[in-house]
């Protein structure tokens, strides 16, 4: 099956620093990648959708200047949490799909802890 990787798996940072998370589709080209956030014991919340070569579409309530998304190629999307604060601590998960009606395949997630 399709494999999606994320890096890093874990990150601990001080408040005020920026953190970049990478999402890669390893064996397929993803026209669309998605970024989700998940708090403990909750479902996944879609943050934004990115299409290769175009600006990301953010869900309501998600600050685009705080969560910078770049989808530079068909196999790589990055999420940068700028000036992270403790309330940004969460589990960030990306997913990718080949085309519009294809299944979304998820990465293993990145756990961010902001001290």
Partner 1 sequence: GESVGLHLPTLSVQEGDNSIINCAYSNSASDYFIWYKQESGKGPQFIIDIRSNMDKRQGQRVTVLLNKTVKHLSLQIAATQPGDSAVYFCAEMAENAGNMLTFGGGTRLMVKP
Applying CB under 8 A, the residues found at the interface with partner 1 are 1, 4, 6, 34, 42-44, 46, 49, 91, 93, 95, 100-101, 103-109, 111
Instruction: Rank residues 34 and 67 by Cβ distance to partner 1 and give the closer one.
Output: 34
Q: How far is the CB of 100 from partner 1 (least distance, A)?
A: 6
Q: 29-60: string of b/e by CB count within 10 Å (b at 16+)?
A: ebbbbbbbbeeeeeeeeebbbbebeeebebee
**DSSP-derived secondary structure letter, 2:** -
Question: What tokens does 79 get?
Answer: 């999420």
- Minimum distance, C-beta of residue 62 to partner 1, in the bound complex (Å): 14
Residue 19 or 47 having the CB closest to partner 1: 47
Residue 106 near residue 4, CB atoms below 8 Å: yes
Question: For partner 1, which is the closer residue by CB, 62 or 82?
Answer: 62
CA distances from 68 to 1, 26, 41 (A): 29, 22, 26
Closest separation in Å from C-beta 102 to partner 1: 10
Decide whether 18 or 103 has the Cβ nearer to partner 1: 103
């Amino acid at each position: 099956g399709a494999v999606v990787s994320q890096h890093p798996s874990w990150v601990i940072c001080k408040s005020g620093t920026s953190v970049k998370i990478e999402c890669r589709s390893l064996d397929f080209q993803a026209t669309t990648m998605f970024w989700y956030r998940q708090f403990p014991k909750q479902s996944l919340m879609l943050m934004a959708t990115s299409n290769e070569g175009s600006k990301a579409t953010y869900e309501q309530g998600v600050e685009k200047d705080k969560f910078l998304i770049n989808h530079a190629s068909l196999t790589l999307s990055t999420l940068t949490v700028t000036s992270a604060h403790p309330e940004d601590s969460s589990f960030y998960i990306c997913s990718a799909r080949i085309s519009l009606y294809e299944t979304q395949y998820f990465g293993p997630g990145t756990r961010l802890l902001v001290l």
